[in-house]
Structure 1
């Protein structure tokens, strides 16, 4: 079975909303997460590693439902928190909110999952798309705060650190010093889109401009690190086939897109599965097949690198 196809595990999609504490009870119970969550999990009995997926700028977690279900079908619990609905350039709040969610996981996650499903909290990976990729890297690098749990793997999905080189959003993550990310041996995967640095039209800037995009993030990664650059696909092509509402419709207008979203979404999901299997589950055959071109991928990639 290819990692680009749906896996063997039946999945369920859970929407978890924290209850609002009353005026005289400000603390949330352990079972209530700090922010709304969308969770894709196997519904079959078992114990599964956990992946946290941080959404892109001004995007809704519902837009990632097909991607996280694809990953979950291969035996992972995928958690997508809604960190905000409106935000300015500063990502400080998102970094602290992500740290709060990680702190909640050991006591609260098991209470919102199916009773037969157990999370392997000691096998936690963090990922992020676009600005969410910057947030994931910032937390892994201990900028502003630290994670209460060990992060075992880090993934940037077309990560972005601002509008352009010299115009990074605070706190800046990129230093422009090769191999400068001190991740203490944490394995890292960076996925880039070929169209991300291109403008859709004259009215909107590129979503992942040169100087602050996937190339720069990978350049600063230390070993072990993997990099895939996908041709002919856009910055938002890993989202659901249909994204509704005003923001959902705008995702088709703001970025240069490929012919359809499904190929990029299946590629991103499959590479993430292969990467997590390599570094959380202990077998790297799937990842090596993709690197060597021996697994039929749903997209063409112009560059692959591993160190």
Structure 2
């Protein structure tokens, strides 16, 4: 009878561990350029209903497990709303085993001044109420509340805050860069997708070690200059410390990362130079895999950068690539 109780208890404990996702961090060991294996759902957080600092959309794997977490800021200093421009990218990254929070940083007002003085390797001090402070407040809110929101939707889904990453697109990277400089211990890795930022200048350097990805496209620096030389991915890469990796792809433009409706607007108005009109789906398969590969390597513990470094493993034309990861 006692042995039976012990067996029953062990089985119950095992079931509890599965339900609560405490069996270990989810690791995606498949090719990241293929569609992620996990089903994904999403929900919206609002300032009035949820008392979150900024409106956000959370994309999460709809199955029990413990997952790394990513926070994202979009273009125009976070003014391009996640649900309008980045749903495809963020949901497909989530399918590789991440809880992804896309933050609409300008949902309650305009972004402030994100410029910084000479850093000389030291984190900058932002003014109170700056976008960087707001983003850190968003992270604090998420650490306190996100797991309960997830559990209420899919039992057993939880976030491992020891494995947190931040990433961005365009001028949203100015906010993310300031956030990292303000408190680089709040995250474990960061990715800058076609960044536009003046936060690093002159001889300023980032001396702390934080794995970083910098990504660009061939047409981004073409007129009308949606990326500016000296303020783009190469600029951030040159000022960053090891480990870091950068890559630029051929025949793609700044808006190609956006959801198809927003891409069409950008394409027809020529707001930014776009890539091949028939290449949108292929490019999105690449970009979700490229972002996922980086965070799988840095947050899920795979430590395998071949999908970022080996051109033969990258399913799209590469213009140039370099890395410094031996540190």
Match of 2:228 among 181, 206, 209: 209
Match of residue 25 from structure 1: none
Matches within 5 A, 1:32-47: 32-47=51-66
SS in 1 for 2:59: strand
Match of residue 113 from structure 2: 90
Runs (5+) with no aligned partner, structure 1: 21-30, 162-167, 200-204
Match of residue 89 from structure 2: 67
Q: Which moved more, 1:41-50 or 1:80-89?
A: 80-89
Alignment of 1:249 with 2:249, yes or no, is no
- When normalised by structure 1's length, the TM-score is 0.82
CA distance in 2, matches of 1:38, 1:188: 24
Q: CA deviation at 1:177?
A: 2.9
Deviations 1:116-166 (A, max 9, x none): 210111111011111111211111111xxx37x6210011011101xxxxx
Match of residue 2 from structure 1: 31
Q: CA deviation at 1:32?
A: 3.4
CA distance in 2, matches of 1:156, 1:206: 17
Match of residue 147 from structure 2: 110
Runs of 4+ in structure 1 over 3 Å off: 85-89
Deviations 1:42-84 (A, max 9, x none): 0010010001111110311111000001100000011101111
Query: Is the contact between residue 9 and residue 74 of structure 1 (CA under 8 Å) also seen in structure 2?
Result: yes
Alignment of 1:135 with 2:175, yes or no, is yes
Which has the greater radius of gyration? 2
Alignment of 1:234 with 2:253, yes or no, is yes
Query: Is the contact between residue 33 and residue 108 of structure 1 (CA under 8 Å) also seen in structure 2?
Result: no
CA distance in 2, matches of 1:233, 1:59: 20
Match of residue 294 from structure 1: 312
RMSD of aligned C-alpha atoms? Answer: 2.1
CA distance in 2, matches of 1:82, 1:290: 28
Alignment of 1:177 with 2:203, yes or no, is yes
Alignment of 1:198 with 2:222, yes or no, is yes
- When normalised by structure 2's length, the TM-score is 0.77
